[in-house]
Chains A and B, each alone.
Chain A
Amino acid sequence: MRVLWNELKKILTWKMLVLLIFINSVLYFLLIEFDIEYFPNGSDMYSYNLGIEMIKKYGITMDRDEFIDFEKTYADDVKKADDYLQSREEFGEEGLETYEKFRDYDWVNRSGKASELRDEVFFNQSVDLFWELQERERLIEFYKWKDSIPERLSKKKQQRFEELIAQKKFGLYPEVAWMNFKRFIANVGIAILFSVVLVISPVILKDRSRQIVPMQYTTKKGRKLFRTKILAGVIATFIVITALLTVYFSLYSLNNTSMFFDVRVNTFIGNESWFDPTFFQFIMLFISGIYIIGLVFGLLSMAFSSLVPNMVSLIGIQIPFVIGFLIIGLYPLLPDMISIWNPKWLSLISYCTIIIIVILFTAVLWKREKKMDIL
């Protein structure tokens, strides 16, 4: 136990922690800040507000009656917009006295005056009502298409779409919060991956390059120390991931999206999935995913660490693995892990495969270490 504690102290040194904090703050500004600072971004605000209003009023699903009520609210708002337009003569002069005319106006071949008025409504004075109407129109449009299935799908995907339609699960709730979370977790995934690799990589190589391994292996604990080192690495990985997740999720809580947590992922617009967890359950899924990926890369780093001759090679050999994972694996394994656009079991099988490969790899190395000539 004492050895384990000391090994752990060797991994999480002050120097390393300072470097970790420095790197994470730069990565935060590079990748994550945008999705925290600018949420909801610009006109997404209306989408976000409408989503909250819908959840308050209709709950996490909407049936036909509730939708009729939704359309009624839209009609009321249109009336308000009509009143607004009629109250201002300039609009009448351009032939924009009702909202319907305003909406269907030929903006492409617009006259200068009309587009000035439009800019005024949307940008200069920013009449919220017009933005809200647009958002409501968008949702009504999606509702209209709820029973249609995209063309040219594989059989399984088509079945899933039909299943969802039969269960009346269709995308209707505004997707801003969801998309924001997906971008956020992909970037958090990148930050955590780099951090784990940074902290864990030198674990085993450090002792070897200091040439203290021969001494360690002739003690009473002997070669079992290798196992302790790996255990210490795994624990350190857990600590690093947990600490970073705590920090990043407390930052995420500033986005204030908890109202959406009970909504099922399939009821967000354009987000058909193989399974149907709630937003909150998906966050849990993501957290377990990131722990697995972190552990796999932690173990992989330790494996490389016991193979390569020096620190530069240790970094060099991991570059293709980390970058390759970021290019190929990150999205299917984290934000899109249950998305219908990937094969159903892809993420689960990939997770199992990488876990098995890494465990086998470590076992082989442990065997090798037991018999290796250390001089």
Chain B
Amino acid sequence: MRIFLHECKKALTSPILIALLIVFSAFNIFIIVSSSDHKEELKMVNEIIDRYGREITDDSLKQFQKDIQNDLLELKGITGQQFDSVYVFLDGLRFEEQEQYSDKDWEFINSLQLKEMYFSMANSIDESYAEIDVVAGGQGDLKRYGIGGKAAETYSEENEEFAERFKEMVNNEEHKEWFFAGKSYFMHSFLFKTVFLHIIIESLLLIVLMTALITTYEFENRTQLLTYSTRRGRKLMKDKLAASLAVSTVISLLLFTITLGTYFFLFDYSHVWETSISSAFNWEYNFPNVTWWDLSVGEFLIGVLVLVFIIQLLFSGLTFALSVIVKSSYITFFLFATLFVLGWLLPTFMPKSSNLLFVSSYTLSTLTMAISQSFMGSNGLILFKNFEWMTISCWMVITIVFCAITYKYFRKMDIQ
């Protein structure tokens, strides 16, 4: 145990790594704060959920419409004119007239505008989902990416299954729940892409550096002849692996706590945890986000967090194995970075008519880079239902085997 703690200390007391952690956290906080202009506007959803419930039903929409009508009457009181919609009022508004209204009036007008936006979006859900044809969309994708042969068959098969799921989702009305308007705020991409990718890449940098530092420490400080001839001897590598994993967990925990803490402090998610992640309001680009399972926002967040932690531990293990072979932390770092990118680019080197195209995308790098679309069927070419758990379990096996082999190799290695 003492050896383990001392190994951990080697990485955790490195002043430059601590400084990096602070710089990264500050950078993340800066990114979140600098794009939080709309955090007040987001509270409208909380108000709506409080008043009409989380689920969008015909009754609640009717009630919502009635309330908007009342608000429009109130607007008449302020402006002295009758408007069908606050947008008509805003369009006709001249620049000079803006000062006629007090701040309080503006607050009212703005909130009314938001309400109308959410109402019209909720109203058009059925219409826009009826237009979606998953199978045809999949065929279009195949044509666009120029995929044929076996690969096209595999894709179409999976896509048909997804079409079933899509129908089931619509029947369950998972999509009829309130969430922040995706097309205006892009909260899903912001949290799971921008923020998460920043955290993941930063913590990966730290994890790789720390793991490489711990593993190659004896060689780089020329103490290998001493440490590996003690009673503990070459079994020390086991402690080093354990220490690397522990340090990786601590580092990413810290980075996640600081960054996500800031995020959820600024953005109030308290009312939308239960909302389904496949909500129609979570529709940002051409296709809505639709998951393979019925997941709520909270469950999705936990799922992604678990995924990320496992990925990072696996990366730490892989780095450990790599640095045992390479014996230099410097080269390990650059090799790791290059291999990470290579893993991500792998599918682009594959023939577009063979299943290799999909097999080669089951890498940890691809999983990491597409983390915002995990568990989703609306995930382009990696829509496969088994993508996450298959990738994780395959790579878990690879990592364990790789670590075991290198450990065995190390036991007999020349350490001069």
B is a partner of A: yes
Measuring CB to CB, which residues of chain A are less than 8 angstroms from any residue of chain B?
A: 15, 19, 22-23, 26-27, 29-30, 198, 201-202, 209-211, 308, 310-317, 319-320
Q: Confirm or deny: B150 has a beta carbon within 8 angstroms of a beta carbon on chain A.
A: no
**Which of B166-174, B225-233, B331-339 faces chain A?**
B331-339
Is B328 interfacial (CB-CB < 8 Å)?
A: yes
Contact indicator A312/B14 (Cβ below 8 Å): yes
A46–B345 Cα gap in the complex (Å)?
A: 30
Q: Does B329 contact A (CB under 8 A)?
A: yes
B400 within 8 A of A: no
Considering the chains assembled together, what is the distance between the CA atoms of A198 and B20 in angstroms?
A: 19
Are B334's CB and A198's CB within 8 A? yes
B345 and A311 within 8 A (CB): no
Q: Which of B70-78, B79-87, B205-213 contacts A (4 or more CB under 8 A)?
A: B205-213
Q: Is the CB of B348 within 8 A of A308?
A: no
Chain B positions within 8 Å of A19 at CB level: 331, 334-335
Does B190 interact with chain A (Cβ within 8 Å)? no
CB contacts (< 8 Å) of B335 on chain A: these are 19
Min distance, Cβ A357 to any Cβ of chain B, angstroms = 20
Within the complex, the shortest CB–CB distance from B14 to chain A, in Å, comes to: 6
A313 to B17, CA, bound (A): 7
Instruction: Given contacts A15-B331, A312-B16, A315-B329, list 6 more A-B pairs with CB under 8 A.
Output: A210-B222, A312-B329, A312-B333, A313-B16, A316-B17, A317-B16
Q: Is the pair B341, A30 in contact by a Cβ cutoff of 8 Å?
A: yes
Give bound CA distance, A15 to B34, whole Å. Answer: 44
- Return the CB mask of B342-353 against A: 1 if under 8 Å, else 0: 100100110000
A316-B338 contact in complex given A29-B348, A202-B330, A311-B220, C-beta closer than 8 Å: no
Output the least CB separation between B43 and chain A (Å): 32
Which chain B residue has the least Cβ–Cβ distance from A315?
A: B333
Least distance between A102 CB and chain B CB atoms (Å)? 26
B20/A312 in contact, CB under 8 A: no
Name which residue of chain A comes closest to B348, CB basis: A29
Contact B338 A313 (CB under 8 A): no
Contact across chains for A23 and B334 when beta carbons are under 8 A apart: yes
CA distance A315 to B338 in the complex (A): 15
Query: Within the assembled complex, what's the spacing in Å between the Cα atoms of A315 and B212?
Result: 11
Interface of B is mostly: helix
**CB atoms of B20 and A201 under 8 A apart:** no
**CA of A258 to CA of B338, assembled, Å:** 33
Q: Are B23 and A320 in touch, CB under 8 angstroms?
A: yes
Residue of B nearest to A311 (CB): B330
Which residues of chain B come closer than 8 Å to A202, judged between CB atoms?
Answer: 330
Whether A316 contacts B16 by the Cβ 8 Å rule is yes
Asked if residues B330 and A26 are in contact (CB atoms below 8 Å), the reply is no
Asked if A313 and B220 sit within 8 Å, CB to CB, the answer is no
Measured CB to CB, the closest approach of chain B to A365, in angstroms, equals: 18
Set of chain B residues within 8 Å of A23, measured between Cβ atoms: 334, 338
Chain A residues in 8 Å Cβ range of B328:
311
Task: Tell me the minimal C-beta distance from B204 to chain A in angstroms.
Answer: 12
8 Å CB contact of A26 from B16, B209, B338: B338
28 interchain pairs, CB-CB under 8 A: A19-B331, A19-B335, A27-B341, A29-B345, A29-B348, A30-B345, A198-B334, A209-B220, A308-B16, A310-B213, A310-B220, A311-B216, A311-B329, A311-B330, A312-B16, A312-B212, A312-B213, A312-B329, A312-B333, A313-B14, A313-B17, A315-B330, A316-B19, A316-B209, A317-B16, A319-B205, A320-B20, A320-B23
Question: What residues of A have a CB within 8 angstroms of the CB of B213 in the complex?
Answer: 310, 312
CB distance from B309 to the nearest CB of A (A): 22
Chain B positions within 8 Å of A317 at CB level: 16
A27 to B210, CA, bound (A): 24
**Interface residues, chain B, CB within 8 Å of chain A?**
14-17, 19-20, 23, 205, 209-210, 212-213, 216, 220-222, 328-331, 333-335, 338, 341-342, 345, 348-349
Chain A CB count within 10 A is highest, among B205, B338, B348, for B338
Q: Which residues of A contact B210 (CB under 8 A)?
A: 312
What is the CA–CA distance of A354 and B220 in the complex, to the nearest angstrom?
32
B330 touching A316, Cβ below 8 Å = no
Decide: B222 and A211 in contact? CB cutoff 8 A. yes
Closest to A210 in B: B222
Residues of A within 8 A of B23 (CB): 320
Contacts of A29 in B (CB 8 A): 345, 348-349
Which residue on A lies nearest to B349, using beta carbons?
A29
User: Are B345 and A26 neighbours in the complex by a CB distance under 8 Å?
Assistant: yes
**CB-CB nearest in chain B for A20:** B334
Q: Beyond A209-B220, A311-B220, A313-B14, is A26–B334 a contact (Cβ under 8 Å)? A: no
Q: How long is the Cα–Cα vector from A313 to B213 in the complex, in angstroms?
A: 9
Give every chain B residue within 8 A of A209 (Cβ-Cβ). 220-222
Per CB-CB distance, the 10 closest pairs between chain A and chain B, nearest first, are A312-B213, A311-B330, A313-B16, A316-B16, A311-B329, A26-B338, A312-B209, A23-B338, A312-B329, A316-B20
Question: In the docked arrangement, what's the CA distance between A202 and B333, Å?
Answer: 13
CB of A242, distance to nearest CB on chain B (Å): 21
Q: Given the complex of chains A and B, what is the CA–CA distance between A320 and B205 in angstroms?
A: 11
Minimal beta-carbon separation of B247 from chain A (angstroms): 12
Closest to A308 in B: B16
**How close is B265's CB to chain A, nearest CB, in angstroms?**
25
What's the Cα separation between A201 and B328 when bound, in Å? 14
Closest-by-CB residue of A relative to B11 is A312
A309 to chain B, nearest CB (A): 9
Nearest CB in chain B: distance from A374 CB, A: 17
Nearest CB on B from A206, distance (A) = 9
Rounded to whole angstroms, the CA-CA distance of A19 and B330 in the bound complex is: 11
Residues on B with C-beta less than 8 A from A22 are 338
Once the chains are docked, how many angstroms separate the CA of A26 from the CA of B15? Answer: 32
Give A313 to B331 CA distance when docked, in angstroms.
13
Most buried by B among A311, A312, A320: A312
Interchain CA distance A314-B330 in the complex, whole Å: 9
Complex CA–CA separation, A244 to B14 (angstroms): 35
Q: Shortest beta-carbon distance, B332 to chain A, in Å?
A: 9
Q: Which residues of B have CB within 8 Å of A210? A: 222
Determine the residue in chain A with the shortest Cβ distance to B212: A312
CB distance from A2 to the nearest CB of B (A): 27
Interface centre among A22, A29, A310, A320 (most CB of B within 10 A): A310
Distance to closest chain A CB from B18 (angstroms): 10
* Neighbouring B residues of A27 by C-beta, 8 Å: 341
Question: Which of A201, A211, A319, A320 is in CB contact (< 8 Å) with B330?
Answer: A201
User: A148 vs B251: C-alpha distance in the bound complex, in angstroms?
Assistant: 55
- Contact A312/B334 with A30-B345, A319-B205 known, Cβ cut-off 8 Å: no
Identity of the chain A residue whose Cβ is nearest the Cβ of B340 in the assembled complex: A26
Q: Point out the residues of chain B lying under 8 angstroms from A313, CB to CB.
A: 14-17
Please determine whether B333 and A26 come into contact, CB atoms closer than 8 angstroms: no
For residue B19, which residues in chain A have a CB less than 8 angstroms away from its CB?
Answer: 316
**How far is A340 from B349 in the complex, measured between Cα atoms in Å?**
40
Across the two chains, which residue of chain B brings its CB closest to A31? B341
Evaluate contact between B17 and A312: CB separation under 8 angstroms. Answer: yes
Cα-based distance from A231 to B61 in the complex (angstroms): 75
CB neighbours (8 Å) of B17 from chain A are 312-313, 316
Most buried by B among A202, A211, A315, A319: A315
